[in-house]
Amino acid sequence: MNLFKTLGLASGRAICYSGYREGQSPETGIFPSYEQVKEDLLILQNHWTYLRLYDCSLHAETVLKVIDKEKLNFKVMLGAFIGAELNNFGCSWGTIFSEEELKKNARVNQVQIKKLIRLANQYPEIIFSLSAGNEATVDWSDHYVSVDKVISYVRMIKKGAKQPVTFCENYIPWYDKLKLLVDEVDFISIHTYPVWEYKHIHEALEYTKQNFYGIADKYPNKPVIITEAGWATNSNGRGINPENVSEEFQAIYYNDLEKWIKKEGIMTFVFEAFDEPWKGSPEAMEPEKHWGLFTVDRKPKKVMQHFFGKSK
């Protein structure tokens, strides 16, 4: 099912946007300024129509404010970031929380869901859909939340806001673990990362298709979109072989992906707009830092140079 048609939306490119620059991060509470966000959105505005924001932080508020005040032509999928309510002992890099910390996280999550609802009602012309969380139920999540609790959050959002509601998650849990959630959401949002699953660039698009159609065929009466798909450009070897990532490979995957999703009418949020140096380990070549179609200093990588000119 085509979500553009289902929601009465115009077809257009979609991208994940998080604008943290050097020295900024949600963890330290140092957020991009109004002018920095405006600069980013002016770069993106003529090429992408749909933006995905992960949380309801001050950064997200600034993005919505810039779109509104500058009258930019973006539609936003806004998410609430929900933190760990259960310990996930299968996550090798995560933290083990005390019971009190888990209870506190649950209280904070309630606040975030309420803020998501408030922003949805404040910007109804900009925000076209809402997400009750991001990668919180997959086996390797470091912010693990039960499926029942996610369902309760989806119901809270649907009661308080008019926009369609989803939950953004890796494709694997949708096969079985999230079956009860399928009836609650208005559409399914999957993440697909062939490079994280050790696929070569020439296997990548076919693997993405398998991930997508596996879920779409399982739930034929529910629209399915892709809320994350991308290819890193650097790696220190942590989870991704350095020989399997480059700007050239990113360009191949992006262009192959674009041809397929345009032909099939599949809304797909490319991951991501700009490199984010705050992510992952302190190592410069940490792959989490290098998924942007643009560098952290806003220069286009190879994949975007045809549209935005070569970096100087």
The 10s digit of each residue's pLDDT in 33-44 is 999 999 999 999
Q: Report the pLDDT value the prediction gives residue 92, as an integer from 0 to 100.
A: 85
Q: Residue ranges per domain, the chain?
A: 3-308
Distance CA(13)–CA(258), nearest Å, equals 9
- Cis status of the peptide bond prior to 272, with omega within 30 of 0: yes
Q: Which residues contact 35 (CB under 8 A, 6 or more apart)?
A: none
Q: Report the helix count and the strand count for the chain, using DSSP H and E.
A: 10, 8
The answer, yes or no, to whether residue 254 has pLDDT greater than 60, is yes
Q: What is the number of alpha carbons within 13 Å of residue 211 lying toward its C-beta?
A: 26
Looking at residue 240, what is its pLDDT?
95
Residue 311, pLDDT score: 60
DSSP string, 206-240: HHHHHHHHHHHHHSTTS-EEEEEE---S---SSSS
**pLDDT tens per residue, range 52-101:** 999 999 999 999 999 999 999 999 999 999 999 999 998 888 899 999 99
In the predicted model, is pLDDT for residue 217 greater than 70?
yes
157-205: per-residue pLDDT in tens? 999 999 999 999 999 999 999 999 999 999 999 999 999 999 999 999 9
Instruction: Give, in order, the Cα–Cα distances in Å from 66 to each of 35, 80, 295.
Output: 9, 19, 22
> What sign has the CA pseudo-torsion 234, 235, 240, 242?
positive
3-state secondary structure of 203: helix
Task: Report the C-alpha gap between 246 and 231 in whole angstroms.
Answer: 8
Residue 149 clears pLDDT 70, i.e. is over it:
yes
pLDDT at 312: 52
Half-sphere exposure for 144 (CA within 13 Å, toward CB): 19
Full DSSP string of 105-164: HHHHHHHHHHHHHHHHHH-TTTEEEEEEEES-SSTT-SS---HHHHHHHHHHHHHH--S-
pLDDT computed for residue 93 by the predictor: 86
pLDDT at 14 over 90: yes
Could you give the CA distance from residue 256 to residue 254 in angstroms, rounded to a whole number?
6
75-79/188-192 β-pairing: unpaired
Query: CA-CA distance, 55 to 109, in Å (whole number)?
Result: 11
The proportion of the chain whose per-residue pLDDT surpasses 70, expressed as a percent, equals: 99
Architecture of the domain defined by 3-308: Alpha-Beta Barrel (3.20)
Residue 252 neighbours by CB under 8 Å, 6+ apart: 201, 204, 231
Task: Render pLDDT for 258-296 as a digit per residue (tens, 0 to 9).
Answer: 999 999 999 999 999 999 999 998 999 999 999 999 999
